[in-house]
Amino acid sequence: MTRILAVDDSPSMRQMVGVTLKSAGYEVLEACDGREALNIAKEQAAVDLVITDINMPNMDGLTLVRELRMLPHYRGVPLLVLTTEASAEKKLEGKAAGATGWVVKPFSPDRLLATIARIVI
Amino acid sequence: MARTSQSIDAAQAIAAAVAQIELAVREVQPAVEQLGTLIDHMATGLGELRNSRQRDADSEAISVFPDEFDQAVTGLQKNVHASITHLQFYDRLVQHLAHIQDFLSGAAGQLAGDTDEAGDVWGVLRNKLRTRLISEAQRELLDAVLPPPGGVQFNSRQAREEHAAQGTVELF
């Protein structure tokens, strides 16, 4: 089963992402900030996709993306940013950090699932 | 900042507003959590309905020739997905209010003379809020009502584009 790590400091956002992913048959792991997500990524054997918010305490989402890309087993894992930020500058920053794609909140479950189906092998 | 009777009154008034915002968010939280749980249950129930149906019939035929049951399930699924989208606006609201709360708390602290910081403390407070705001529309509103000392150039096009971008997906 495809395993997805959802990272957001908001419990309600984690819940909505989780409901969306579970309804499509994905296994979901949750983290409340970048630091917790990085620990999970280092300790869990395999995560097929990471979906992360940007603005979070302890470690923000773009730092998480950079840190994950430095882990050998995460170089090829798709990393989606899910954020309210929609500026071209921020997107470029995300792309430079190593993000695979950018989803602007509030997300549409149909679009999110269609995107995941495209990028997760 | 020298404390005056007026600045202490203003600090107390702002502190009262901060407390009211906090209470408002706290009061609504259980209902919103319940709403999230209900959406979760509906999504799970729909998945079970689909699975039970597919066990009794040819799944390929269902996808090609959906009957009333399948159409009803598909309609409910759309409603669940729309609920997920709309509930996210609550999250935006809470984030926005949290940043306003922090800003107001800082302002109240300054007025009450609780901090020893020197320099442009109001500018620092304002910039901190501006950085933490989560959309260009919010930053534009701040700039309009509380402009920085050097003034600001408005870019309403950027805010409109950002609004139009909600829900979009871009792969790099």
More confident residue, A21 or B60: A21
- Measured between CB atoms, which of B33, B86, B136 is closest to A87? B136
Amino acid B6: pLDDT: 83
User: Quick one: average pLDDT of A100-107?
Assistant: 92
More confident residue, A6 or B162: A6
Amino acid B148: pLDDT: 82
Question: Residue B134 and residue A79: Cα distance in Å, rounded?
Answer: 21
Amino acid B116: pLDDT: 63
Residue B172 has pLDDT above 80, yes or no: yes
pLDDT-based confidence at residue A108 (cuts at 50, 70, 90): very high
Q: Which domain holds residue A14?
A: 3-119
Q: Where are the alpha helices (DSSP H) in chain B?
A: 5-56, 59-64, 68-112, 121-132, 136-145, 156-164
pLDDT-based confidence at residue B68 (cuts at 50, 70, 90): confident
Question: Residue A3 and residue A16: Cα distance in Å, rounded?
Answer: 16
Residue A17 has pLDDT above 90, yes or no: yes
Edge to edge, the sheet with strand A49-52 lists A27-31, A3-7, A49-52, A79-83, A101-104, B169-171
How many angstroms separate the CA of residue B41 from the nearest CA in chain A? 9
How many angstroms separate the CA of residue B140 from the nearest CA in chain A? 13
At A113, which CATH number?
Answer: 3.40.50.2300
Residue at token pair 């994950």: A68
Residues B3-32 pLDDT 10s: 678 888 889 999 999 999 999 999 998 999
Q: What is the tally of structural domains in chain A?
A: 1
Contact by Cβ (8 Å): A82, A103: yes
CB contact under 8 Å between A23 and B161, yes or no, is no
Residue at token pair 């901090």: B115
Amino acid B54: pLDDT: 66
Q: Does A87 touch chain B (CB under 8 A)?
A: yes
The kind and range of the H/E element at A15 are helix A11-23
